[in-house]
Amino acid sequence: MPWKKFLSYNVVSAIAWAPLYIIPGFLVGSALGSDVTLPAHFYPALAISLAVLALLYLVAFRLQLGLGNDSRLYTRLSRWADRHPRSRHFWHSFTSARPAGPAEFPLPSFALALVCGTLFLGWSLIATSTGWLTTLNEHSLALFSGLRSAATDPAMRTITLLGDPPVLIGGALMATLVLLFRGYYAAAIHALAAAFATAALVWLLKAGFAIPRPETVFGPPDSGAYPSGHAAGITVLLSLAASFWAREKCRRQRWRIYLVFTLPMVLVCLSRVYLGVHWFTDVVGGVLLGLCICGVVRASYSRYDQIPLRAEVFTLVGLVSWVLFTAGYIYWSWTSALTAYSPL
């Protein structure tokens, strides 16, 4: 194994091993040793949520595999596009042709942008213009409010700080600088464009919908509730990172990368509802918006995806710098977060 690959895997695994190994046992022990009373219907709600999440993962990964360049649908669409001059030009202009691999049209990215964009529009219409999801919002807020305890609050505050704008902007800027330094100019421009598009769309939609937040904590953010900026931002950042990494792997291995990167997204979204600063519909809308932006950006970048993106020492330096910045931000923001997210 090359020493660079060996070093990168060992550093990442060393950072991830300790919290993943210790925190679950600590939380379970703290919960068993405390006087926490679980809300009514907690276990049925947990089982249904896990089943729905597993089903969504299964459908998403199956669709991703079914839209690859070795699938029947991809072959049929490619043949149909070759029959017409305009569709042929569109197909070939977005196809990334690398010297060492087969040409690949970003069909999964276009499908992701189209499906999530349509779902976001429909979900926004239902969530902001009707009262159909009010009961769902109230029950989910009551469920998570009943789960709050001294044992789990610090973990959830830490997780929600990972989705704060300074952390997300810092990650986007660090990725842009790394890509620029290594000569991947098109990738750097697309990463920066994704960050600006996410910030602008979230700000405009929050101001336009003007949905009030839940009144459960002392210092809720001043902006509107819908859509969740934390959910949209963390989705764009991690989805783009996963897509860039997965592009360098064979198609059968990509679902593992997507699975690993979606777990922090789910945790950040849950932390917003747990802390009582967002409704359930807010985080769903934020995730759909973030996935739509990711699909559009990834499909656009496919036109310039001619050179493999390879991790080097400078990439590791940028990642470690961002991790240190995030740790420092959490440390300096902890006191204010403790006060702002304290329940009424």
Q: Which of 329, 313, 327 has its CA nearest to residue 182?
A: 313
Which stretch, 34-38, 77-81, 133-137, 298-302, has highest mean pLDDT?
298-302
Q: How many domains does the chain have?
A: 1
- Does the pLDDT at position 160 exceed 90? yes
Query: Which one has a higher pLDDT value, 296 or 316?
Result: 296
According to the model, what pLDDT value does residue 7 have? 85
According to the model, what pLDDT value does residue 34 have? 64
Distance CA 236, CA 172 (A): 10
CATH number of the domain residue 248 falls in: 1.20.144
Whether residue 74 lies inside any domain: the answer is no
| One-letter amino acid of 292 | C
**pTM for this prediction:** 0.85
Q: Which of 124, 122, 141, 162 has its CA nearest to residue 265?
A: 162
Query: Which one has a higher pLDDT value, 190 or 45?
Result: 190
State which residues form the domain around 201.
110-340
Whether residue 121 lies inside any domain: the answer is yes
Rounded to an integer, the average pLDDT of 159-182 is: 92
Whether residue 175 lies inside any domain: the answer is yes
Torsional class of 91: left (φ above 0), alpha (ψ -120 to 50), beta (otherwise): alpha
- Does the pLDDT at position 62 exceed 80? no
Whether residue 141 lies inside any domain: the answer is yes
Rounded to an integer, the average pLDDT of 60-68 is: 71
Whether residue 304 lies inside any domain: the answer is yes
According to the model, what pLDDT value does residue 51 have? 81
According to the model, what pLDDT value does residue 36 have? 62
Give the pLDDT band (50/70/90) at residue 5. Answer: confident
Q: Which two tokens stand for residue 250?
A: 């064979």
- Does the pLDDT at position 27 exceed 80? no
Distance CA 303, CA 98 (A): 11
Give the pLDDT band (50/70/90) at residue 326. Answer: very high
Whether residue 171 lies inside any domain: the answer is yes
Whether residue 198 lies inside any domain: the answer is yes
Whether residue 11 lies inside any domain: the answer is no
User: Percent of the chain, pLDDT > 70?
Assistant: 93
